[in-house]
Amino acid sequence: MNINIYYGGRGIIDDPTIYVINKMQEVLEELRVKVTRYNLFEVKNSIAALPQTLKEADGIILATTVEWYGIGGYMQQFLDACWLFGDKEKIAQIYMAPVVMSTTYGEREGKLDLATAWEILGGRPCSGLCGYIENTLALEMNEQYLHIIEKKAENIYRTINQRMASFPASNQAVKQMVAPPRTIDLTPQETEQLSQYVTDDSYVQRQKEDIQELTSLFRDKMNNEGAESEEEYLAELKKTFHTQQGMEATYLIDIEEKPSSLVVKVHDADLECFYGQEEASDVEMQLNRAAMEDIVNGRMTFQRAFMSGAMKLKGDFRILRLLDQIFPFAG
């Protein structure tokens, strides 16, 4: 039989939980149980990989100390890792005994929290042990306390060895009906590999660097596209421009897909065109990019775009007709 002990305390010398699990380990080893101990504070950087150690376990003991409130961060991290990376089919076959000693208030709540968490994971909780110990020396010197610990270890062994049945828990049934977990559909092997990646600081750092590099790449690409967008159609307008003596007009062309308007100013032989805003204009036009493409490629004139409804117009229609004369794209 294999039993793993996961200790979630801080490892301080006078921690009563350490004394309790040491005695339990002695009793279990006398019963020829292979006991493997994991001190979470020693492997805090690789807790995400610890669910892999459940593979060969017939039962486990989750031991922690309530020092001020709750079961502590290390134990919570381990339970989170079991939820995210643990093999749920394997967990469903594992018995768990909670051991919670308290130097303040809350040992019963801590024991209940561990049992509830294991039930939600799908595992099988068995009777554990909890108590308030103000002074570890008093625990060590009390023969009755020692007897309780030894008997509890024997009961844990008996429960796991005989694979004792228990009634199903309501919190597990409710979870399956109303709160199904949103998990990625991974095989146990893929989940195990993912947990290894999570605990590999160098791998995580490389991923962060890759993400930053990709972000920078896309940002530069968007900036370049934005710069190109601010130059679009300007070259075609300047190349096609046909001088009209005595003409002076300002056109504001709103292209739906562009954040800024295309401003075209004509004064005799001078042409000024740019993207931006212009308070005073003789004609305001609104069209989409497809209609503008048809115009600059000679498939449609400004006047025809207005007549067909592809372009909306505000201003002097006669000045719009002049626009096709100074920009004869069709010619």
Claim to verify: residue 277 and residue 144 sit in the same structural domain: no
**Quick check: is 277 in a domain?**
yes
User: pTM above 0.75?
Assistant: no
Amino acid 267: pLDDT: 87
- The predicted-structure confidence for 45-97, as pLDDT tens digits, reads as follows 889 999 999 998 999 999 999 998 899 999 999 999 999 888 888 999 999 99
Instruction: Report the CATH number that the domain containing residue 287 is assigned in CATH.
Output: 3.30.1050.10
Token code pair at residue 134: 């103000």
Number of C-alpha atoms within 13 angstroms, CB side, residue 192?
11
| Residues 250 and 278 sit within 8 Å (Cβ to Cβ) | yes
Claim to verify: residue 240 and residue 170 sit in the same structural domain: no
Other C-beta atoms within 10 Å of 21: how many?
Answer: 25
Claim to verify: residue 164 and residue 240 sit in the same structural domain: no
**Quick check: is 55 in a domain?**
yes
Domain that holds residue 78: 2-180
Round to whole Å and give the CA distance between 321 and 209: 56
Of 180, 198, 223, the one marking the end of a domain is 180
The angle at the Cα of 304, spanning 300 to 308, to the nearest 5 degrees, equals 110
**Quick check: is 188 in a domain?**
no
Amino acid 244: pLDDT: 81
Claim to verify: residue 69 and residue 140 sit in the same structural domain: yes
Percentage of the chain beyond pLDDT 70 is 85
Amino acid 183: pLDDT: 53
Round to whole Å and give the CA distance between 97 and 57: 13
At 179, the pLDDT band (50, 70, 90 cuts) reads low
Amino acid 203: pLDDT: 64
Round to whole Å and give the CA distance between 294 and 298: 6
Of 180, 195, 222, the one marking the end of a domain is 180
The angle at the Cα of 44, spanning 61 to 92, to the nearest 5 degrees, equals 35
Claim to verify: residue 145 and residue 19 sit in the same structural domain: yes
3-state secondary structure of 313: strand
Number of C-alpha atoms within 13 angstroms, CB side, residue 103?
17
Claim to verify: residue 25 and residue 139 sit in the same structural domain: yes
Amino acid 281: pLDDT: 86
**Quick check: is 45 in a domain?**
yes
Instruction: Report the CATH number that the domain containing residue 58 is assigned in CATH.
Output: 3.40.50.360
Q: Which residue is listed with tokens 């042409």?
A: 271
Please, which contacts does 184-189 make with residues 24 or more away whose CB atoms are closer than 8 Å?
188/87, 188/89, 188/90
3-state secondary structure of 306: helix
**Quick check: is 196 in a domain?**
no
- The predicted-structure confidence for 262-279, as pLDDT tens digits, reads as follows 999 998 888 898 988 888
**Quick check: is 212 in a domain?**
no
Round to whole Å and give the CA distance between 157 and 90: 19
DSSP state letter for 260 = S
Claim to verify: residue 46 and residue 146 sit in the same structural domain: yes
Number of C-alpha atoms within 13 angstroms, CB side, residue 187?
3
Round to whole Å and give the CA distance between 69 and 109: 10
- In sequence order, what DSSP letters do the residues of 201-260 get, joined into one string? HHHHHHHHHHHHHHHHHHHHHHHHHHHHHTTTTHHHHHHH----TT-EEEEEEEETT-SS
**Quick check: is 265 in a domain?**
yes
Round to whole Å and give the CA distance between 83 and 171: 15
Claim to verify: residue 116 and residue 9 sit in the same structural domain: yes
Claim to verify: residue 32 and residue 106 sit in the same structural domain: yes
Average pLDDT of the chain to the nearest whole number: 85
**What phi and psi, each to the nearest 5 degrees, are found at residue 70?**
80, 180
Mode of pairing for the β-strands spanning 270-276 and 261-267: antiparallel
Of 180, 199, 221, the one marking the end of a domain is 180
Token code pair at residue 317: 């229609």
DSSP state letter for 33 = -
* Distance (Å) of CA 265 to CA 175, 236, 326: 68, 15, 11
Claim to verify: residue 157 and residue 304 sit in the same structural domain: no
Q: Which amino acid is at 196?
A: Q
Number of independent structural domains in the chain: 2
178 against 141, higher pLDDT: 141
Claim to verify: residue 74 and residue 149 sit in the same structural domain: yes
Other C-beta atoms within 10 Å of 107: how many?
Answer: 23
**Quick check: is 92 in a domain?**
yes
Round to whole Å and give the CA distance between 5 and 174: 29
At 7, the pLDDT band (50, 70, 90 cuts) reads very high
| Residues 199 and 48 sit within 8 Å (Cβ to Cβ) | yes
Claim to verify: residue 245 and residue 126 sit in the same structural domain: no
